[in-house]
Amino acid sequence: MPFLVCALVLFGRFPAQTVATSEIDAVIARADSPREGDSEKMAKWGDKAFERLLPVAERRFAAEGASSENQSARAALANLTLYLCVSASRARTSEMTGLYRKAHNSEQVRLFQWMAEIGDVAPNRDLFDDAVWNGSEDPNTLSKRLSSVDALCRAGDRAALDALTRVLLKTSNPDLEKKVFWKIASTGDDAALNAVRKLRDRGRTLPPLAERSPLELQNAKNVKSTTTDKSGRRWGLIEWDGLGAPDDLWIVKREGNKWADPVFTGVNTSWPRSLPSGTRAKGAEEHDAMMASFVDKGGWKKLIDDPDTRVDTDGDGYTDLVERWLGLDPADPDTDGDGVPDGQDRNPLTGSPPQTDEEQAISAALSPFLIPGRGASHNTMIELPNGMKPFELYSSSGLVLPRNPVIKPEGRLFGYWFSVASPVAFSLDRGEATVSVTELGGYYSTGWQVRVRKFDGDWYAVDMKVVWGSVS
């Protein structure tokens, strides 16, 4: 197929083709077991296909509840919904809305997505306004909330953008926060950009170590051992994620009905595994023996009265052991010299903010991953293009640490890992750029393409999409 024809098909601008109704009916009839290319055909046939589909879909949605359908019927209904969405033009908003109100579960979600992204927003504005504030954790409800963001940005009026700004600053759902974060920036609206900056700028410093994650763990298995000293003071050895790793071991003391005063032991209960096989890395047997001595046989109790475990030579809020663990200087309260003490610095190894257009574009591209809240204790490790000096990045999670050249992936630092490809692709006027970001999450990797744009001298993420994914 010629390139132009392919492009028209892919982007939904292929002119409706003359087709016999029998051909359309044949595709509809085999919806439970479609052939390759059926959905593309329905898209090309456009309104004529929609007219044949509509009465069939109305009967199916009205007569069949999702819970009573067998697997074949479910497949047919899902494909019929897909055909509706690829063949319907915006002029069909009324009919699609009627079908939405009769549909169930995933079919309803798909129709809602069409209404938000393609349909006329105005007739369903109340629906989108209500959906974006629905706080349910149900996946279908969340999907509608995310689609409502698209609809309200398409509406683009003051009320819509103000509503999205409130959602951005108040929501506790990271997926919704991420979507609104870049979506409203794409409008270029001054109030929306100000909300993005407000959220972004909060992320330079961290709270004190003991406040980064709840110490009063609900899961009793995280308390590995306890003891009571001669004075009657109760002590515990717990797994705690104050430095990001959920299986780091910390000594804590009991104050009333709460654990307090966490002190890092420098011991982690897990051991790195080789990927993708999942086999335990070299040294696992020695680690098991050490854990048996330290935890099971009570070796940790010796550290309770050991002053060396609490030494903070430079008085920056981190013990010397924590500083060595993170690659900081135990004798310098501000390792990177940026004026923020190590114990409060979210970027303790990178002293300067992004300066060049390339650095600022990369910072903006990473912001949708780092700014939406994932929990104050989750670290982020960043690998920048070769030769690029690490720079400060805003985040609402834990520490932001350069993966190269300072921090090596030794398996003891837990968090989210991101790698940025080089070079950054700038537009001719250098007012827009595309940045390729790889997200590494243990056994999976995801490749993202993030588009960033400059507004009044400041860079913002304005679009992001997944371009590849893999599981090891």
Residue 327 to residue 335: CA distance in whole angstroms: 9
Whether 413 has a pLDDT exceeding 70, the answer reads: no
What's the pTM?
A: 0.82
Whether 67 has a pLDDT exceeding 50, the answer reads: no
Residue percentage of the chain with pLDDT more than 70: 87
Question: What is the band of 421 on the pLDDT scale with cuts at 50, 70, 90?
Answer: confident
The pLDDT of residue 293 is: 94
Mean pLDDT, rounded, for 413-440? 89
The pLDDT of residue 218 is: 44
Domain 3-201 has CATH 3.30.70: no
Residue 249 to residue 269: CA distance in whole angstroms: 7
Most confident among 85-99, 162-176, 247-261, 402-416 (mean pLDDT): 85-99
Most confident among 185-189, 401-405, 411-415 (mean pLDDT): 185-189
Question: What is the band of 7 on the pLDDT scale with cuts at 50, 70, 90?
Answer: very low
The pLDDT of residue 10 is: 42
The pLDDT of residue 199 is: 84
The pLDDT of residue 13 is: 45
Domain ranges of the chain: 3-201, 209-310, 357-471
Phi, psi values for residue 281, rounded to 5°: -75, 170
